[in-house]
Structure 1
Amino acid sequence: MKIGELSQQTGVSVRSLRHYEHCGLLTSVRQANGYREYSPLAVETVESIKLYLNLGLTTEQIAGFLTCVLQNKEAFCSEVLPVYHKKLADIDRQIIELSQIRINLLDRIASLTKTEPEPNI
């Protein structure tokens, strides 16, 4: 199938598909006219990529285990769980940092909106 067909079937832009291929997540065969030709399995590959991107993983992280996941079940790929644990730790750290920033902003807003007491005359 051509890149446009793959894009339609998966809902992923042609630009993103080219990016996935550049990152080594997706493969195609070049026809004599230079067009990319994807196997029918490319749909499953792109759907898997979408799943992992929606979990907040990077294309680099996905590249580390995608082949294993596509050939086996996720539970059999030892590379996946450490990536999940690291991502979860990163998210927990970000939540703590954002919570502190929120508290700082609330304090600053409160200090700026406080009305000054009127002087006693």
Structure 2
Amino acid sequence: MKIGELSALTGASVRSLRHYEAKGLIASERTPAGYREYSPLVADAVRSIRLYLDLGLTTDQIAGILTCVLRNKEAFCAEVVPLYESKLAEIEREIGQLTRIKDNLRERMAAIRAEQAAAQPQALPPEEPSEEPSEEPSEKEEAKKGDGDDGPRSEVEGELL
């Protein structure tokens, strides 16, 4: 199969396939016209390479285990578990470092926000209404006064007599 077909079959880019070949992870034959020709078995190797890349392994690390895992199951390759343990320890160190960075960033953001809050003028609390009687008459008092005509009024209808 040609490189474009292998790319379509595995989802790996043509550039990645050339890189894998340069690293010795896969091999091809050359046609008389100079085109790469891959065995159908190479598709399995490419899928395995992509799996190991997704696990965070480098192509150099993959090269150390690929031949074994393509011939046997991972469980029967002595190199796999120590490689996984090493990768896991590396990830744990990176998580610790990232956690420290995250905590430092949160601490700095809190300090900045506190400094910004302290620098802003404090708003005055709203005035509360006083309990003292005001000098202006209330609406009830105005209603009792009437419309300014001081004549006598009827108790029943509030009309002038």
TM-score class, shorter-chain normalisation, is over 0.9
Whose relative contact order is higher, 1 or 2, with alpha carbons under 8 Å and at least 6 apart? 1
Structure 1 equivalent of residue 45 of structure 2: 45
Shift of 1:96: 0.6
Query: How many aligned positions are there?
Result: 119
Q: Residue 56 of structure 1 aligns to a residue in which SS? A: coil
Shift of 1:113: 1.1
Which one-letter code corresponds to 1:54 in the other structure? D
Quote the Cα distance in structure 1 between the aligned partners of 2:38 and 2:61.
Answer: 23
Q: Residue 34 of structure 2 aligns to a residue in which SS? A: coil
Which one-letter code corresponds to 2:42 in the other structure? A
Shift of 1:31: 1.2
Quote the Cα distance in structure 2 between the aligned partners of 1:65 and 1:91.
Answer: 20
Quote the Cα distance in structure 1 between the aligned partners of 2:113 and 2:64.
Answer: 51
Structure 2 equivalent of residue 9 of structure 1: 9
**Structure 2 residues without counterparts, runs of 5 or longer:** 123-161
Q: Residue 65 of structure 1 aligns to a residue in which SS? A: helix
Which one-letter code corresponds to 1:47 in the other structure? R
- TM-score using structure 1 length: 0.95
Shift of 1:116: 1.2
Over the residues paired in the alignment, what is the CA RMSD in angstroms?
Answer: 1.2
- TM-score using structure 2 length: 0.72
Quote the Cα distance in structure 2 between the aligned partners of 1:80 and 1:29.
Answer: 29
Structure 2 equivalent of residue 116 of structure 1: 118
**Structure 1 residues without counterparts, runs of 5 or longer:** none
Correspondences of 1:1-121 after superposition (within 5 Å): 1-114=1-114, 115-116=117-118
The structure with more helix, counted as a fraction of residues: 1
Structure of higher CA gyration radius: 2
Shift of 1:101: 0.4
Which one-letter code corresponds to 1:31 in the other structure? T
Quote the Cα distance in structure 1 between the aligned partners of 2:79 and 2:36.
Answer: 30
Q: Residue 90 of structure 2 aligns to a residue in which SS? A: helix
Q: Deviations 1:15-60 (Å, cap 9, x if unpaired)?
A: 0000000111010011111100000101101010111011110000
Structure 1 equivalent of residue 138 of structure 2: none
Quote the Cα distance in structure 2 between the aligned partners of 1:80 and 1:60.
Answer: 13
Quote the Cα distance in structure 2 between the aligned partners of 1:74 and 1:102.
Answer: 36
